[in-house]
């Protein structure tokens, strides 16, 4: 009964998400350069997001799978463009000049 | 008394007092009329609580036309003020308020509801659906838009209008330089309307993706549906940016935050950046459905299928991405340097390409077509050359180095008016004329229609071409006057004549509606234009369930195939039809949002809290409400079908 | 209403499938909402004026507590949906209830955090940095608060009406919302707190 209520996939997913959090915490507890730290954070955050999306949110289970993925990827692409473009225009350009 | 002082207009004039009286009298007249003719129940049952996409579409269109006249009145006042040098018709403050409200009203409260209104009316019919995906949400979208629009419009008689331009750049729009509540109106009213627009975007995406008639694959969708589909994608991903920017602006103005101030680490440039991250995609939200209308009209009246369907779709898909990567071209002179400007200059040039592809597709559709010049076609034919003038001057502005010369001059004003008026306004007028018989069961008079199209077309040129010249000569936009020695007088006088001509053209349209309502024949059938797509295959007037039987689609022009090649469109037996119930909640929420926004604008926190709770109360009520819709019984469907001229 | 029994109950009617798809599109819009807040945050993060910087006011303990609480609640709402699909109403209600309690605990820690910030002189009006920090966290917190009420209403409906096409559909959509808030929090955790304390 209990086993039925705690499917393996979700339990492993949860443990994995805790591990990812722990890895991200390394940037706080260890000394490292900004570049290395940011890389760790970017990697762990995006894996975490993908984990939630695919494993917990069942994004790929219905007939509208393509639409759902397109909507999320499109949103993420535009989001990244907006963030990077804004930084480029308002911050980085003044640092390079 | 002290309490009421905040509602006083800070910079009154006789014209504003006259407007207050006029608004008061109009409201009294409407209420008295509704009571006298005992129409309250009718209004409530048939319109205020409706969830029918066709009626919601018509309400959007009526609002858009009202706002067209509000924004048009602003435009005439501006052109009259500038018609002569050192003119004293308006002072600087009034001029500032008028150009600010003209911009906001025309873009957000005229063009947006116009396209959303047409989308509402046309799209379910065009894809063979009985309503949109979420009919009640659709009603809520409309009432939120309407609440926002009304809130914005009362600003000039209660507390003062926004005066920092439609772009509302900080620090000018901050508390230091805009002390009246005007800019609060801007922040809150647009926020409310914007929420409605976002819901519309989600609703139409779900509708188009999931509710197409069987057999209508994506690549068999009519072009207007395609264009609306892309526009709604852009809505969904662009409007949240505006939501955040407006919220930050509100926090700055009402809660003393420092996002866009010049001290405590604030950055005024961030507003300009966020505004245009939304603002540029917004341009394409407006223009793409307009392109869709042109595609339908040109194909119908060239009497042939649309040339280059796939390239039309492809170019719009490309635009949906590129429209998000060009925003910096609105502020090339802000100081981000040559490298950043070059990037955005190149993307700007690139986005001209898919637009050019579309222009050529229309030209090729016309080529070898049997062209019938009707009023909608006339608007479309006027659009191509006029829009091209606006388009190529846009490419000039897109070159960042050259932009230093044009920036913030009348050249820019001329450019975007030459894009928006032939691009969007002509399309909306074409669409209105084209779909009028489907909406109301009679046609607009063609002779008066063509007179108005020519008047508007020529007046657009007369009004805006001179601005290219005065702009290159250095006339700055948003200046309330200029000296005689500047030599701008002649250009501005010509512009004023053009603006007056535009007013005549729009008055002719109103006269046409009146004239046709009285004299036009009601016996026009359901397909008066000999059109090609599905919306013309159902009855006129359209029954509330749109299609008694759901059509079977196997081409881009199923109705044409039915007419010319005898393909069966509607098969099977009549059945009872499931429809959603009307609901008063969206209308009530619209009123609550209006009151909430009004209290917020004047920082009256107790009513804000009360109305916030009331809004959440409505949502909670809806969560618990059980509403499974209703069935129209088979007998009633049969009766309606027979009355409308036979079973389709 | 046609009910398709080959699919989980929450997908079983046309209207249900429309609602799920519509909600996914809404989440696409939410991505942009938070992306705009992040873009603004990154631009203003050094705009501290006379106020404190992130490194001076962030505390790892409450942040870590919030993260664990929200991650766990995301796990439990997943279990609730799993139980729902098994048709086990009781287990579903238990997991759903745990999720809401964890959400409430998260909110409690966040309120403590806000009080702390204001206490150390990092209020909304202090600087552009504090303003965008509180706005970003506040937007997420407001979503959680809204979710708590929404979830409570759904819980009551499941309790009263059982697992019907409507209630399962509402619960599933709520689970999407809740997972999404967890994703947003991960980004806040990584790029606001950890980056700030690095």
CATH classification at residue B145: 1.20.210.10
Say whether both A48 and A66 belong to one domain.
no
- In whole angstroms, give the CA distance from residue B205 to residue C27: 13
Q: Do residues B534 and B459 touch, judged by C-beta distance below 8 A?
A: no
Residue B535 has pLDDT above 60, yes or no: yes
pLDDT in tens, B550-603: 999 988 898 998 888 888 888 888 889 999 999 999 999 999 999 999 999 999
Q: What single-letter DSSP state applies at residue C10?
A: G
**How far out from the chain centre does Cα B324 lie?**
20
Q: Do residues B180 and B160 touch, judged by C-beta distance below 8 A?
A: yes
Q: Per DSSP, what are the bridge partners of residue B579? A: B630
Confidence (pLDDT) at B648: 60
Torsion, Cα of B240, B246, B251, B257 (10° steps): 90
Burial class of B511 by CB neighbour count within 10 A (0 to 12, 13 to 18, 19+) = middle
- In whole angstroms, give the CA distance from residue B107 to residue B575: 43
Nearest residue to B592 via CA among B614, B573, B570: B614
C14 in helix, strand or coil? helix
pLDDT band at B1; cut points 50, 70, 90: low
Residue B311 has pLDDT above 70, yes or no: yes
Residue ranges making up the domain that contains B86: 1-285
Q: What single-letter DSSP state applies at residue B484?
A: G
pLDDT band at C1; cut points 50, 70, 90: low
Q: Per DSSP, what are the bridge partners of residue B409? A: B476
- In whole angstroms, give the CA distance from residue B237 to residue B288: 15
Residue ranges making up the domain that contains C66: 10-197
Asked if the Cβ–Cβ distance from A62 to C72 is below 8 Å, we say no
Contacts of range B93-96, beta carbons closer than 8 Å, 24 or more positions apart: B93/B11, B93/B163, B94/B11, B94/B13, B95/B480, B96/B163, B96/B164, B96/B165, B96/B478, B96/B480
How many structural domains does chain A have? 2
Is C18's Cβ below 8 Å from some Cβ in A?
no
Which CATH number characterizes residue C35's domain? 1.20.120.80
Residue A38 has pLDDT above 90, yes or no: yes
Say whether both A2 and A36 belong to one domain.
yes
Which residues in chain C have Cβ-Cβ distances shorter than 8 Å to B575? none
The string of DSSP codes covering A35-56 is HHHHHHHHHHHHHHHHHIIIII
Please state the φ and ψ torsions of residue B631, each to the nearest 5 degrees: -105, 135
pLDDT in tens, B216-250: 999 999 999 999 999 999 999 999 999 999 999 99
B187-191, B632-636, C3-7: which has the highest mean pLDDT?
Answer: B187-191
B476 in helix, strand or coil? strand
Which residues in chain B have Cβ-Cβ distances shorter than 8 Å to A90? 267, 269-270, 273, 336
Interior angle at CA B54, CA B49 and CA B57, nearest 5 = 85
Here the tokens at position B313 are 């779709």
Region C82-98: what's the mean pLDDT? 94
Contacts of range B90-98, beta carbons closer than 8 Å, 24 or more positions apart: B90/B480, B91/B480, B92/B480, B93/B11, B93/B163, B94/B11, B94/B13, B95/B480, B96/B163, B96/B164, B96/B165, B96/B478, B96/B480, B97/B11, B97/B156, B97/B160, B97/B161, B97/B162, B97/B163, B97/B182, B98/B74, B98/B161
Q: Do residues B191 and B246 touch, judged by C-beta distance below 8 A?
A: yes
Say whether both A42 and A74 belong to one domain.
no
Instruction: Give domain status of residue C3, yes or no.
Output: no
Please state the φ and ψ torsions of residue C66, each to the nearest 5 degrees: -60, -45
How many structural domains does chain B have? 1
Instruction: Give domain status of residue C29, yes or no.
Output: yes
Closest residue to C42, CB basis, from A63, A76, A87: A87
Closest residue to B336, CB basis, from A78, A81, A93: A93
Confidence (pLDDT) at B626: 84
Scan for tokens 């994703």, then name that residue: C183
Q: Do residues B426 and B390 touch, judged by C-beta distance below 8 A?
A: no
N- to C-terminal Cα separation, chain A: 65
Residue C109 has pLDDT above 70, yes or no: yes
Say whether both A14 and A50 belong to one domain.
yes
- In whole angstroms, give the CA distance from residue B226 to residue B310: 11
Say whether both A46 and A76 belong to one domain.
no
N- to C-terminal Cα separation, chain C: 56
Please give, rounded to a whole number of angstroms, the shortest distance from the CA of B270 to a CA of chain C.
Answer: 7
Region B492-497: what's the mean pLDDT? 96
Which of A3-17, B91-105, C139-153 is the least confident region? A3-17
Nearest residue to C139 via CA among C64, C55, C35: C35
Is C94's Cβ below 8 Å from some Cβ in A?
no
Asked if the Cβ–Cβ distance from C176 to A57 is below 8 Å, we say yes
Buried b (16+ CB within 10 A) or exposed e, C72-86: bbbbbbbbbbbbbbe
Nearest residue to B257 via CA among C146, A3, C125: C125
- In whole angstroms, give the CA distance from residue B188 to residue B168: 13
Residue B420, number of CB atoms within 10 A of its CB: 20
- In whole angstroms, give the CA distance from residue B379 to residue B450: 9
pLDDT in tens, B619-635: 999 989 888 889 999 99
Q: Do residues B252 and B175 touch, judged by C-beta distance below 8 A?
A: yes
Say whether both A2 and A31 belong to one domain.
yes
Confidence (pLDDT) at C2: 65
User: Which helix H or strand E contains B632, and what residues bound it?
Assistant: strand B630-632
pLDDT in tens, B385-401: 999 999 999 999 999 99
Q: Is the peptide bond before B171 cis (omega within 30 degrees of 0)?
A: yes
Say whether both A8 and A25 belong to one domain.
yes
Asked if the Cβ–Cβ distance from A74 to C67 is below 8 Å, we say no
pLDDT band at B18; cut points 50, 70, 90: confident
Please give, rounded to a whole number of angstroms, the shortest distance from the CA of B130 to a CA of chain A.
Answer: 21
Confidence (pLDDT) at A60: 79
Confidence (pLDDT) at B647: 63
Instruction: Give domain status of residue C4, yes or no.
Output: no
Q: Do residues B182 and B155 touch, judged by C-beta distance below 8 A?
A: yes
Q: Do residues B55 and B121 touch, judged by C-beta distance below 8 A?
A: no
Say whether both A51 and A90 belong to one domain.
no
Nearest residue to C155 via CA among C96, C196, C114: C96
Nearest residue to A41 via CA among A55, A60, A21, A58: A21
Instruction: Give domain status of residue C48, yes or no.
Output: yes
Taking the whole predicted model, whether its pTM rises above 0.80 is answered as: yes
- In whole angstroms, give the CA distance from residue C46 to residue C128: 9
Residue B42, number of CB atoms within 10 A of its CB: 12
Q: Do residues C175 and C34 touch, judged by C-beta distance below 8 A?
A: no
Say whether both A7 and A34 belong to one domain.
yes
- In whole angstroms, give the CA distance from residue B27 to residue B71: 20
- In whole angstroms, give the CA distance from residue B162 to residue B109: 15
Please give, rounded to a whole number of angstroms, the shortest distance from the CA of A73 to a CA of chain B.
Answer: 12
Asked if the Cβ–Cβ distance from C82 to A10 is below 8 Å, we say yes
Contacting A residues, span 13-52, partner chain C, CB-CB under 8 Å: 13-14, 17-18, 21, 24-25, 27-28, 32, 34, 37-38, 41-42, 44-45, 48-49, 52
- In whole angstroms, give the CA distance from residue B616 to residue A74: 31
Residue B16 has pLDDT above 90, yes or no: no
Confidence (pLDDT) at A1: 66
Nearest residue to B251 via CA among C198, A8, C37: C37
Helices (H), B399-445: 400-406, 410-420, 426-440
Instruction: Give domain status of residue C5, yes or no.
Output: no
ipTM, 2 decimals? Answer: 0.95
Instruction: Give domain status of residue B175, yes or no.
Output: yes
Q: Do residues B115 and B286 touch, judged by C-beta distance below 8 A?
A: yes
Asked if the Cβ–Cβ distance from A93 to B237 is below 8 Å, we say no
Q: Do residues B190 and B246 touch, judged by C-beta distance below 8 A?
A: yes
Scan for tokens 């809150």, then name that residue: B188
- In whole angstroms, give the CA distance from residue B643 to residue B647: 9
Say whether both A25 and A51 belong to one domain.
yes
Scan for tokens 């000569």, then name that residue: B473
Residue ranges making up the domain that contains A87: 62-97
Here the tokens at position B431 are 């669409």
B264 in helix, strand or coil? coil
Region A45-72: what's the mean pLDDT? 87
pLDDT band at C8; cut points 50, 70, 90: confident
pLDDT band at A61; cut points 50, 70, 90: confident
Please state the φ and ψ torsions of residue B162, each to the nearest 5 degrees: -60, 145
Q: What size, in residues, is chain B?
A: 648
Scan for tokens 């059109």, then name that residue: B531
B631 in helix, strand or coil? strand
Which residues in chain A have Cβ-Cβ distances shorter than 8 Å to B325? 81, 85
Touching subunits for chain A (3+ Cβ pairs under 8 A): B, C
Say whether both A41 and A72 belong to one domain.
no
- In whole angstroms, give the CA distance from residue C195 to residue A27: 8
Torsion, Cα of B562, B567, B569, B572 (10° steps): 150
Confidence (pLDDT) at B237: 96
Scan for tokens 């909507």, then name that residue: A71
User: Which helix H or strand E contains B579, and what residues bound it?
Assistant: strand B577-579
Confidence (pLDDT) at C75: 94
């Amino acid at each position: 009964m209990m086993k039925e209520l705690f499917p393996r996939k979700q339990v492993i997913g949860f443990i994995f998400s805790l591990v990812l959090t722990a890895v991200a915490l390394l940037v706080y507890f260890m000394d490292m350069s900004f570049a290395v730290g940011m890389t760790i954070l970017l990697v762990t955050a995006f894996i975490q997001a993908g984990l939630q999306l695919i494993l917990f949110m069942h994004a790929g289970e219905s007939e509208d799978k393509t639409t759902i993925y397109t909507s999320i990827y499109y949103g993420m692409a535009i989001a990244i463009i907006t963030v990077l473009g804004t930084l480029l225009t308002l911050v980085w350009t003044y640092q390079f000049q | 008394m002290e309490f009421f002082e905040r509602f006083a207009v800070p910079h009154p004039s006789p014209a504003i007092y006259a407007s207050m009286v006029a608004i008061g009298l109009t409201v009294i007249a409407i209420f008295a009329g509704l009571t006298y003719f005992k129409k309250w129940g009718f209004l409530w049952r048939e319109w205020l609580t409706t969830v029918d996409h066709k009626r919601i579409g018509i309400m959007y269109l009526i609002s858009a036309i009202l706002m067209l006249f509000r924004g048009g009145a602003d435009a005439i006042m501006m052109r009259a003020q500038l018609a002569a040098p050192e003119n004293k018709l308006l002072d600087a403050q009034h001029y500032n308020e008028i150009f600010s409200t003209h911009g906001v009203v025309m873009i957000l409260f005229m063009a947006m509801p116009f396209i959303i209104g047409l989308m509402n009316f046309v799209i379910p019919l065009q894809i063979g659906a009985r309503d949109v995906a979420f009919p009640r949400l659709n009603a809520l979208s409309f009432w939120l838009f309407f609440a926002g629009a009304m809130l914005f419009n009362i600003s000039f008689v209660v507390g003062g209008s926004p005066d920092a331009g439609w772009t509302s750049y900080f620090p000018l729009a901050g508390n230091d330089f805009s002390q009246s509540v005007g800019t609060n109106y801007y922040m809150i009213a647009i926020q409310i309307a914007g929420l409605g627009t976002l819901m519309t975007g989600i609703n139409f995406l779900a509708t188009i993706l999931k509710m197409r008639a069987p057999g209508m694959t994506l690549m068999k969708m009519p072009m207007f549906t395609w264009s609306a589909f892309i526009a709604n994608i852009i809505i969904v991903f662009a409007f949240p940016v505006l939501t955040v920017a407006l919220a930050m602006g509100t926090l700055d103005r009402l809660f003393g935050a420092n996002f866009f101030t010049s001290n405590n680490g604030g950055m005024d440039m961030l507003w300009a950046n966020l505004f245009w991250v939304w603002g540029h995609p917004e341009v394409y939200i407006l223009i793409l459905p307009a392109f869709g209308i042109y595609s339908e009209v040109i194909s119908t009246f060239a009497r042939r299928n649309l040339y280059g369907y796939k390239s039309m779709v492809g170019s719009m898909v490309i635009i949906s991405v590129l429209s998000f990567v060009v925003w910096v071209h609105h502020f090339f002179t802000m100081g981000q340097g040559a490298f950043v400007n070059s990037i955005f200059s190149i993307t700007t040039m690139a986005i001209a390409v898919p637009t050019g592809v579309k222009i050529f597709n229309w030209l090729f559709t016309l080529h070898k077509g049997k062209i019938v010049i009707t009023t909608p076609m006339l608007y479309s034919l006027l659009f191509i050359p006029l829009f091209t003038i606006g388009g190529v001057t846009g490419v000039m502005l897109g070159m960042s180095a050259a932009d230093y010369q044009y920036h913030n001059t009348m050249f820019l004003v001329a450019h975007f008016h030459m894009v928006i008026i032939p691009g969007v306004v002509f399309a909306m007028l074409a669409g209105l004329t084209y779909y009028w018989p489907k909406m109301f069961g009679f046609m607009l008079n063609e002779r008066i229609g063509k007179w108005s199209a020519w008047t508007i077309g020529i007046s657009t040129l007369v009004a805006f071409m001179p601005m290219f010249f005065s702009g290159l000569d250095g006339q700055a936009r948003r200046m309330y006057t200029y000296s005689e020695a500047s030599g701008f007088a002649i250009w501005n006088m010509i512009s004023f004549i053009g603006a007056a001509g535009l007013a005549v053209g729009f008055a002719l349209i109103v006269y046409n509606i009146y004239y046709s309502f009285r004299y036009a024949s009601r016996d026009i059938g359901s397909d008066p234009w000999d059109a090609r797509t599905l919306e013309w295959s159902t009855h006129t007037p359209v029954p509330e369930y749109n299609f008694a039987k759901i059509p079977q689609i196997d081409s881009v022009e199923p109705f044409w195939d039915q007419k010319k090649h005898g393909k069966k469109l509607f098969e099977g037996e009549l059945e009872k039809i499931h429809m959603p119930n009307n609901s008063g909640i969206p209308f009530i929420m619209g009123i609550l949002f209006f009151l909430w926004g009004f209290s917020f604008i004047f920082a009256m926190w107790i009513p804000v809290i009360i109305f916030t709770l009331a809004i959440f109360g409505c949502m909670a009520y809806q969560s618990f409400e059980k509403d499974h819709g209703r069935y129209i019984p088979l007998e009633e469907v049969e009766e309606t079908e027979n009355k409308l001229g036979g079973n389709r | 209403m046609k009910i398709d029994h080959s699919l989980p109950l929450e997908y079983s009617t046309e209207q249900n499938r429309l609602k799920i798809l519509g909600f996914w599109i809404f989440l696409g819009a939410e991505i942009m909402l938070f992306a705009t807040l992040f873009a603004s945050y990154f631009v203003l993060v050094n705009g501290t004026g006379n106020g404190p910087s992130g490194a001076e006011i962030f505390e790892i303990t409450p942040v870590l507590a919030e993260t664990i609480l929200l991650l766990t609640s995301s796990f439990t709402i997943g279990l609730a949906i799993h139980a729902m699909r098994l048709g086990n109403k009781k287990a579903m209600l238990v997991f759903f209830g745990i999720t809401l309690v964890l959400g409430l605990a998260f909110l409690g820690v966040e309120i403590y955090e806000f009080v702390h910030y204001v206490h150390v002189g990092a209020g909304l009006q202090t600087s552009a940095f504090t303003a965008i920090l509180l706005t970003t966290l506040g937007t997420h917190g407001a979503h959680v608060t809204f979710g708590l009420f929404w979830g409570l209403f759904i819980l009551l409906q499941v309790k009263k009406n059982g697992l019907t096409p409507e209630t399962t559909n509402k619960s599933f959509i709520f689970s999407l919302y809740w997972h999404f808030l967890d994703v947003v929090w991960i980004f806040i955790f990584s790029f606001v707190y950890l980056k700030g304390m690095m």
